Amino acid sequence: MAKIIETSIEQLIPDNKNFNKGTEYGQHLIEESLRKFGAGRSILLDKNNRIIAGNKTIENASIVGLDNVIIVETDGNQIVAVRRKDIDLDTAKGRELALADNATSKANMAWDFDVIAEQAERFAIEPEDWGVSMPEPEPEEVEDPKQEIDTKLIVECGDVTKLSLLFSELQDRGFKCKLKE
């Protein structure tokens, strides 16, 4: 039988070498999802209460006042499932929560390649084995006589999902993006 421990969010220790920097827009979506639906999935801790997966969720849970934590101790040989007794998947709330779960994961992913490279070297990890393509080292910049022009693109969209996808795509392509309401 798995051991269950009730504790507070303050007992959890964030990963100080988190591979995901997150995005401003993704953080906004996670916070919005937690406010609207509450917690929808579990996070993952190591034996010392350090967060392996779910750092951004915990950051936002604290902001919205979700302070209570239930820890289920396992050895990795069981799947831990969170059952929401208040939600039916085949309802508007259930389907929107499923969409929010997937959308927030995508929108909040921004690899910290410096941390990945550091930890990959330290622990002989191959990021490419996990589908993470490491960028080529950038050549040293030579002063360009061309003058750089600061330009802005403003996008208005009533569809949060489409906006999330565009935001993520632009960040992936190297554009500096900000979310403003």
| 108-138 tens-digit pLDDT | 999 999 999 999 999 999 999 999 999 988 7
Q: Return the percent helix, strand and coil in the chain, to nearest 5.
A: 40, 10, 50
Would you say 9 and 51 are in contact if contact means Cβ atoms under 8 Å apart? no
* Closest to 103 (Cα-Cα) out of 19, 152, 163, 24: 163
Q: Tell whether 48 is covered by a domain.
A: yes
State the total domains in the chain: 1
Tokens 């080292």 found at? 137
Distance CA 62, CA 51 (A): 14
**pLDDT at residue 181, as a whole number:** 67
177 within a domain of the structure (yes/no): no
- Give residue 91's pLDDT: 97
How far apart are alpha carbons 37 and 33 in whole angstroms?
6
Beta strands in 2-145 (DSSP E): 3-8, 44-45, 51-53, 68-73
H or E, element range at 77: none
Is residue 78, in this structure, part of any structural domain at all?
A: yes
Of 50, 61, 47, 67, nearest in space to 3 by CA: 47
Angle between helices 24-37 and 160-172 (to 10 degrees): 150
Q: What is the pLDDT of residues 51-80, one digit of tens each?
A: 999 999 999 999 999 999 999 999 999 999
Run of H or E residues at 1: none
pLDDT at residue 167 in the model: 80
Residue 170 has a pLDDT of: 85
Rounded Cα distance between 164 and 31, Å, is 14
Note the pLDDT of residue 152. 80
In a domain, residue 77? The reply is yes
Rounded to an integer, the average pLDDT of 166-173 is 82
pLDDT digits (tens, 9 = 90+) for 15-44: 999 999 999 999 999 999 999 999 999 999
Residue 171 falls inside a structural domain: no
Q: Is residue 80 part of a domain?
A: yes
Whether 100 is in a domain gets the answer yes
**Is 152 among the domain residues?**
no
- 76-106 confidence digits (pLDDT tens): 999 999 999 999 999 999 999 999 999 999 9
**149 burial level (CB within 10 Å; 0-12, 13-18, 19+):** exposed
Find the domain containing 93 and state its range: 3-128
